Structure 1
Amino acid sequence: VPSSQINVPFKIEKAFNRENQSPRLWLTHSCTKTALFCSVCLAFDERRLSNFNNSGGMCDWKHVYQIIGEHEKKFTHEKCCDAYFVFKKNRSINKFSIACPP
Protein backbone atom coordinates (compact mmCIF):
# COMPACT_ATOMS: atom_id res chain seq x y z
CA VAL A 1 0.00 0.00 0.00
CA PRO A 2 1.42 3.38 -0.90
CA SER A 3 2.42 5.31 2.22
CA SER A 4 1.20 8.63 0.85
CA GLN A 5 -1.46 9.90 -1.53
CA ILE A 6 1.22 12.08 -3.18
CA ASN A 7 1.94 11.02 -6.79
CA VAL A 8 -0.56 8.15 -6.66
CA PRO A 9 -3.15 8.42 -9.48
CA PHE A 10 -5.96 6.75 -7.48
CA LYS A 11 -7.55 6.98 -4.03
CA ILE A 12 -5.61 4.61 -1.80
CA GLU A 13 -8.45 3.86 0.62
CA LYS A 14 -10.93 3.17 -2.17
CA ALA A 15 -8.57 0.86 -4.06
CA PHE A 16 -7.18 -1.15 -1.15
CA ASN A 17 -10.49 -1.60 0.70
CA ARG A 18 -13.81 -3.03 -0.46
CA GLU A 19 -17.07 -1.13 0.07
CA ASN A 20 -17.51 -2.96 3.39
CA GLN A 21 -14.00 -1.73 4.36
CA SER A 22 -12.44 -5.22 4.33
CA PRO A 23 -8.90 -4.97 2.95
CA ARG A 24 -7.80 -6.27 -0.42
CA LEU A 25 -4.67 -7.99 0.84
CA TRP A 26 -3.86 -9.32 -2.64
CA LEU A 27 -3.49 -5.84 -4.16
CA THR A 28 0.00 -4.37 -4.35
CA HIS A 29 1.36 -1.11 -5.76
CA SER A 30 4.67 -0.54 -7.52
CA CYS A 31 6.01 2.98 -7.08
CA THR A 32 8.64 2.47 -9.77
CA LYS A 33 6.13 1.26 -12.38
CA THR A 34 3.20 3.33 -11.10
CA ALA A 35 1.04 0.24 -11.46
CA LEU A 36 -1.11 -2.15 -9.43
CA PHE A 37 -0.51 -5.90 -9.23
CA CYS A 38 -2.28 -8.94 -7.83
CA SER A 39 0.27 -10.70 -5.63
CA VAL A 40 -1.56 -14.05 -5.59
CA CYS A 41 -2.04 -14.12 -9.37
CA LEU A 42 1.62 -13.17 -9.86
CA ALA A 43 2.59 -16.13 -7.70
CA PHE A 44 0.12 -18.79 -8.88
CA ASP A 45 -1.04 -18.00 -12.43
CA GLU A 46 1.66 -18.75 -15.00
CA ARG A 47 -0.44 -17.58 -17.95
CA ARG A 48 -0.01 -13.85 -17.19
CA LEU A 49 -3.17 -12.89 -19.09
CA SER A 50 -4.40 -10.25 -16.65
CA ASN A 51 -2.99 -6.75 -16.41
CA PHE A 52 -2.66 -7.42 -12.68
CA ASN A 53 -0.07 -10.14 -13.18
CA ASN A 54 1.83 -9.19 -16.32
CA SER A 55 5.10 -7.27 -16.28
CA GLY A 56 3.50 -3.85 -16.78
CA GLY A 57 0.81 -4.14 -14.15
CA MET A 58 -2.60 -2.49 -14.17
CA CYS A 59 -2.45 1.23 -14.89
CA ASP A 60 -5.84 2.13 -16.36
CA TRP A 61 -6.50 4.89 -13.83
CA LYS A 62 -9.73 6.02 -15.49
CA HIS A 63 -11.39 2.66 -14.67
CA VAL A 64 -9.20 1.52 -11.77
CA TYR A 65 -11.95 0.75 -9.22
CA GLN A 66 -14.14 -1.08 -11.74
CA ILE A 67 -11.19 -3.16 -12.97
CA ILE A 68 -10.14 -4.04 -9.40
CA GLY A 69 -13.68 -5.24 -8.62
CA GLU A 70 -13.88 -7.26 -11.84
CA HIS A 71 -10.49 -8.87 -11.24
CA GLU A 72 -11.48 -9.89 -7.73
CA LYS A 73 -14.49 -11.82 -9.09
CA LYS A 74 -12.64 -13.68 -11.86
CA PHE A 75 -12.43 -17.46 -11.73
CA THR A 76 -8.66 -17.40 -12.19
CA HIS A 77 -8.18 -14.97 -9.29
CA GLU A 78 -10.36 -17.12 -7.03
CA LYS A 79 -8.36 -20.24 -7.94
CA CYS A 80 -5.09 -18.40 -7.29
CA CYS A 81 -6.41 -17.35 -3.86
CA ASP A 82 -7.33 -20.99 -3.16
CA ALA A 83 -3.83 -22.07 -4.20
CA TYR A 84 -2.31 -19.44 -1.93
CA PHE A 85 -4.26 -20.61 1.11
CA VAL A 86 -3.37 -24.24 0.44
CA PHE A 87 0.28 -23.28 -0.06
CA LYS A 88 0.19 -21.31 3.17
CA LYS A 89 -0.97 -24.45 4.97
CA ASN A 90 1.97 -26.38 3.39
CA ARG A 91 -0.21 -28.69 1.36
CA SER A 92 0.09 -29.75 -2.25
CA ILE A 93 -1.24 -27.24 -4.77
CA ASN A 94 -1.42 -29.75 -7.64
CA LYS A 95 -5.21 -30.05 -7.46
CA PHE A 96 -5.50 -26.28 -7.81
CA SER A 97 -3.98 -26.02 -11.27
CA ILE A 98 -5.51 -23.14 -13.16
CA ALA A 99 -7.88 -24.31 -15.86
CA CYS A 100 -10.66 -22.48 -17.59
CA PRO A 101 -14.14 -23.71 -16.70
CA PRO A 102 -16.01 -25.66 -19.44
Structure 2
Amino acid sequence: MAENQDTQLPPIIAVNQNPAPRTMYDYAKPSLTGTESSIVRLAVAANTFELKPNTIQMIQKFVQFDGLQDEDPNAHLANFLELCDTFKINGVSNDAIHLRLFPFSLRNKAK
Protein backbone atom coordinates (compact mmCIF):
# COMPACT_ATOMS: atom_id res chain seq x y z
CA MET A 1 0.00 0.00 0.00
CA ALA A 2 2.93 2.33 0.66
CA GLU A 3 4.03 1.80 -2.93
CA ASN A 4 0.71 3.12 -4.25
CA GLN A 5 1.06 6.34 -2.28
CA ASP A 6 4.33 7.22 -4.03
CA THR A 7 2.75 7.23 -7.50
CA GLN A 8 0.73 10.31 -8.28
CA LEU A 9 -2.06 10.65 -10.74
CA PRO A 10 -1.67 13.19 -13.56
CA PRO A 11 -3.31 16.55 -12.85
CA ILE A 12 -6.84 17.04 -14.09
CA ILE A 13 -7.00 19.23 -17.17
CA ALA A 14 -9.68 21.89 -17.03
CA VAL A 15 -12.22 21.48 -19.80
CA ASN A 16 -14.38 24.31 -21.07
CA GLN A 17 -17.79 23.40 -19.73
CA ASN A 18 -19.79 25.47 -22.22
CA PRO A 19 -18.08 25.47 -25.62
CA ALA A 20 -19.74 27.46 -28.39
CA PRO A 21 -22.07 25.21 -30.38
CA ARG A 22 -20.69 24.24 -33.79
CA THR A 23 -22.83 23.55 -36.82
CA MET A 24 -22.20 20.93 -39.50
CA TYR A 25 -21.03 23.76 -41.74
CA ASP A 26 -18.28 24.62 -39.23
CA TYR A 27 -16.96 21.08 -39.44
CA ALA A 28 -17.18 20.91 -43.23
CA LYS A 29 -15.71 24.25 -44.29
CA PRO A 30 -12.06 24.08 -45.34
CA SER A 31 -9.42 25.92 -43.40
CA LEU A 32 -6.35 27.23 -45.20
CA THR A 33 -4.54 28.17 -42.02
CA GLY A 34 -1.04 26.74 -42.05
CA THR A 35 -1.31 25.16 -45.49
CA GLU A 36 1.31 25.48 -48.17
CA SER A 37 1.01 25.36 -51.92
CA SER A 38 1.23 21.90 -53.44
CA ILE A 39 2.96 23.37 -56.49
CA VAL A 40 6.72 23.22 -56.18
CA ARG A 41 8.64 25.41 -58.60
CA LEU A 42 11.51 23.68 -60.31
CA ALA A 43 14.98 25.12 -59.92
CA VAL A 44 16.32 26.93 -62.98
CA ALA A 45 20.00 26.46 -63.80
CA ALA A 46 20.14 29.39 -66.23
CA ASN A 47 21.51 32.56 -64.67
CA THR A 48 19.71 34.85 -67.09
CA PHE A 49 16.23 33.32 -66.91
CA GLU A 50 13.55 35.95 -67.37
CA LEU A 51 9.96 35.81 -68.50
CA LYS A 52 9.55 38.59 -71.01
CA PRO A 53 6.58 40.92 -70.48
CA ASN A 54 5.30 40.21 -74.01
CA THR A 55 5.17 36.46 -73.18
CA ILE A 56 3.09 37.15 -70.06
CA GLN A 57 0.82 39.50 -72.02
CA MET A 58 0.34 36.86 -74.71
CA ILE A 59 -0.76 34.33 -72.07
CA GLN A 60 -3.10 36.87 -70.49
CA LYS A 61 -4.61 37.82 -73.83
CA PHE A 62 -5.12 34.43 -75.49
CA VAL A 63 -5.51 31.76 -72.80
CA GLN A 64 -7.51 33.07 -69.87
CA PHE A 65 -9.55 30.83 -67.58
CA ASP A 66 -12.15 32.30 -65.21
CA GLY A 67 -13.47 29.09 -63.67
CA LEU A 68 -17.01 29.62 -64.92
CA GLN A 69 -19.40 26.70 -65.43
CA ASP A 70 -19.42 27.00 -69.21
CA GLU A 71 -15.60 26.91 -69.47
CA ASP A 72 -13.75 23.66 -70.10
CA PRO A 73 -10.63 23.35 -67.89
CA ASN A 74 -9.19 20.63 -70.14
CA ALA A 75 -9.50 22.87 -73.19
CA HIS A 76 -7.81 25.66 -71.22
CA LEU A 77 -4.87 23.40 -70.37
CA ALA A 78 -4.57 22.21 -73.97
CA ASN A 79 -4.57 25.82 -75.26
CA PHE A 80 -2.10 26.90 -72.57
CA LEU A 81 0.35 24.08 -73.37
CA GLU A 82 0.00 24.70 -77.11
CA LEU A 83 0.90 28.35 -76.66
CA CYS A 84 3.78 27.55 -74.30
CA ASP A 85 5.20 25.07 -76.81
CA THR A 86 5.71 27.87 -79.33
CA PHE A 87 8.85 29.12 -77.57
CA LYS A 88 11.88 27.69 -75.78
CA ILE A 89 14.32 29.23 -73.31
CA ASN A 90 17.80 27.68 -73.33
CA GLY A 91 18.74 26.00 -70.06
CA VAL A 92 15.17 26.01 -68.73
CA SER A 93 12.90 22.97 -68.75
CA ASN A 94 9.42 23.18 -70.23
CA ASP A 95 7.91 22.27 -66.85
CA ALA A 96 9.67 25.21 -65.17
CA ILE A 97 8.30 27.56 -67.82
CA HIS A 98 4.78 26.12 -67.52
CA LEU A 99 4.76 26.41 -63.72
CA ARG A 100 5.84 30.04 -63.82
CA LEU A 101 3.43 31.09 -66.58
CA PHE A 102 0.32 29.18 -65.50
CA PRO A 103 -0.83 31.63 -62.78
CA PHE A 104 -0.96 34.35 -65.46
CA SER A 105 -3.54 32.30 -67.36
CA LEU A 106 -6.02 32.41 -64.46
CA ARG A 107 -8.28 35.22 -63.38
CA ASN A 108 -11.28 35.98 -61.17
CA LYS A 109 -12.73 32.88 -59.47
CA ALA A 110 -10.07 30.53 -60.90
CA LYS A 111 -7.19 32.60 -59.49
Class of the TM-score when normalised by the shorter of the 2 chains: under 0.3
* Higher relative contact order structure (alpha carbons within 8 Å, sequence separation ≥ 6): 2
User: Is the radius of gyration larger for structure 1 or structure 2?
Assistant: 2
Normalising by structure 1, report the TM-score.
Answer: 0.27
Greater share of strand residues, 1 or 2? 1
